[in-house]
Amino acid sequence: MDLVTVEEIAAAAERIVDTAVRTPLLPCDWADADRPLWLKPENLQPIGAFKIRGAANAMARIPESARPRGVVAYSSGNHAQAVAYVAKRFGLPATIVVPENTPAVKIEATRSHGAEVVVAAITDREIVAERLVTERGATLVPPFDHPDVIAGQGTIGLEIAAELPSVELVLVPVSGGGLASGIATAIKARCPAARVVGVEPALAADAAESLAAGRLVRWPAADRARTIADGLRAEPSELTFAHLSTLVDGIVTVSEEEIRAAVALLARRAHLVAEPSGAVTTAAYLHRAADLPRGRTVAVVSGGNIDPTDLAALLAT
């Protein structure tokens, strides 16, 4: 299987320069002395998540002739917002298929970017999206299972390598695996001595189990849905697993309690609002030190879309 190349990621970086923010590396004065920590705050992107990078790269590559027919995505989360936001910027019609249990506030947020929202049963949403693609001649923008999406997410790795070439460890959340695939490709090309370690909730550790087994191990969706980290409930595809098994140095897991504590710590000490999925890397830094290489560490904070009342509850305790 062909893996994404660092050249494709460099090309993606040029395509998304006007859409995604080049986020800084934030040094943490509360880190351990022998493993200084920087945060890569992707929660500061428009729509509050890294997803904008992959969506922008994929949508920039749609041929001129196909652009008037627009794009389709299925997601209830950050990918939906990202596709809607980028489509509006690019002037493309967008249709987002959401599962029928999606909170009204998320549907409203998607509509606020000008996207059409189609509600479907969760088991039908891929079928509904594919039918829209066929009927309208629209282009599907998948959440992770596409080289252009992986290349877009990989621009985070290029930015880390450019700003901190001496980085020794990069911690990345793993769900469908697009983010980790892209970042690992960029880091291994530009900083070959650095390790890239994925982080999963213990309650959705299918990628960790897959890496250990050397093949894709499937967990029931109901099991993966148990974690508070609602952005980490997807599972790798053949394409992303090929990247992970070739490029990633390991995957560590964190508990629900560790994730909650990391969300609170990021607000208190780093002044960042992170969603649970975005806080797993900080949780791993704090609680899996024994399993991680020492040295200069970057933790990717992938998103910030947490319900404010949930954040309030975590901060009040």
Catalytic positions: 51, 302
User: Could you say whether residue 264 binds a second copy (CB under 8 A)?
Assistant: yes
Task: Give the list of residues 6+ apart from residue 62 with CB closer than 8 angstroms, or none.
Answer: 71, 92, 139
Distance CA 255, CA 284 (A): 9
Which element (helix H / strand E) includes 209? helix 206-213
Q: State the virtual CA torsion across 265, 301, 216, 141 in degrees, nearest 10.
A: 140
| Residue 101 or 317 having the CB closest to a second copy | 317
Counting beta carbons within 10 angstroms of the beta carbon of residue 249, is it exposed (0 to 12), middle (13 to 18) or buried (19 or more)? middle
In angstroms, what is the minimal distance from the CB of 27 to a second copy? 6
Q: Which of 282, 38, 291, 29 is nearest to 167 (CA)?
A: 38
Look up residue 113 and give its DSSP letter.
Answer: T
Q: State the virtual CA torsion across 186, 192, 195, 196 in degrees, nearest 10.
A: 10
Strands 195-201 and 94-99: unpaired
| Residue 45 or 139 having the CB closest to a second copy | 45
Distance CA 201, CA 208 (A): 10
Stretch that binds a second copy, among 69-77, 254-262, 266-274, 287-295 (CB under 8 A): 266-274
In angstroms, what is the minimal distance from the CB of 29 to a second copy? 5
Mask for 48-87, x = binds a second copy (CB under 8 A): x------------------------------------x--
User: Could you say whether residue 272 binds a second copy (CB under 8 A)?
Assistant: yes
In angstroms, what is the minimal distance from the CB of 73 to a second copy? 17
Number of residues that make up the chain: 317
Choose, by CB under 8 A, the member of 14, 17, 24, 225 that binds a second copy.
24
Decide: 100 and 119 in contact? Cβ < 8 Å: yes
Look up residue 2 and give its DSSP letter.
Answer: P
Decide: 154 and 185 in contact? Cβ < 8 Å: yes
User: Could you say whether residue 17 binds a second copy (CB under 8 A)?
Assistant: no
Place of tokens 């909730």: 201
Residues within window 209-238 making contact with a second copy, judged by CB under 8 A: none
Residues within window 94-123 making contact with a second copy, judged by CB under 8 A: 113
User: Could you say whether residue 315 binds a second copy (CB under 8 A)?
Assistant: yes
Stretch that binds a second copy, among 7-15, 208-216, 252-260, 263-271 (CB under 8 A): 263-271
In angstroms, what is the minimal distance from the CB of 200 to a second copy? 22
User: Could you say whether residue 46 binds a second copy (CB under 8 A)?
Assistant: yes
User: Could you say whether residue 133 binds a second copy (CB under 8 A)?
Assistant: no
In angstroms, what is the minimal distance from the CB of 42 to a second copy? 10
In angstroms, what is the minimal distance from the CB of 113 to a second copy? 7
The residues binding a second copy (CB under 8 A) are 21-29, 41, 43-44, 46-48, 85, 113, 264, 267-268, 270-274, 304-305, 308-309, 311-313, 315-316
